[in-house]
Amino acid sequence: MFALAGCDAFGGGTPTTRTVIQEAPPPVDPIVTLIATTRLHLARIDAALAAIAADAAGVAKLTPIRADRAAHLAALVTEQARTSNPDGSVSASASGAAAGPPQIEMPADATAAIAAIRVDAENAQVQFTDGVAATAKYRSAIFASISACLASHRSVLI
């Protein structure tokens, strides 16, 4: 009877069940989200600059912030391309070239617009801080540097 059932009294023979070990999927690379966030915030700064164009002081405050965020986006896209495309080329979706300009409305009041951009900086700082713990050394240093820059943005966007 044991022989017919494919086993014996001592647990030997061919096992009747198989254990399949399935590995967890690899963690999502945070740089994808960080690029999207930076691109969105850059578009919001552009919209804010257009909305408060008549306010010279407000424009003067946001213009260097925009330059920093543009530098962040360029660095992030380059870093992503460096590790995902061996030839170093950047896809249209990664560079944002294929996407049209988003329609974003920002307050015409400079104080309100600057406050909104400050909130963006706070949110982005949280994301980049989280990203520091979720990636390897080299990339985490880039995220850390951008996170620190965003902290400094918060200190001047007042």
Partner 1 sequence: MTAATTPAGSAPSTPAGSAPSTDAVGSATVDTATVPPISGDATASVVSGSGGVVTTALNIGPIEAEAASAVQGGLAAAHAAIWTYGLISAYDPDDIGTIRAARQGNTQIRNAATDLLRTAGVEPVRTEAAYAVPVAVTDRPTALQLAIVVEKDCTNAWRAVVGTTDNLQLRSYALSALSDAAVRLTGWRVLAGVAPATVPFPGNETA
At which residue do the structure tokens 């996407």 appear? 99
Least CB distance from residue 29 to partner 1, whole Å? 6
Least CB distance from residue 19 to partner 1, whole Å? 25
> In the structure encoding, which two tokens stand for residue 25, read together?
């999927």
Alpha carbon distance 103, 129 (integer Å): 28
As to burial, measured by CB atoms within 10 angstroms (0-12 exposed, 13-18 middle, 19+ buried), residue 29 is middle
- Within residues 1-40, the interface with partner 1 by CB under 8 A covers 26-27, 29, 31
Least CB distance from residue 47 to partner 1, whole Å? 20
Do the Cβ atoms of 72 and 147 come closer than 8 Å?
no
Residue 145 sits in the site that holds partner 1 (CB under 8 A): yes
Binding region for partner 1 (CB under 8 A): 26-27, 29, 31, 64-65, 67-68, 71-72, 75, 82-83, 129, 132-142, 144-149, 151-153, 155-156
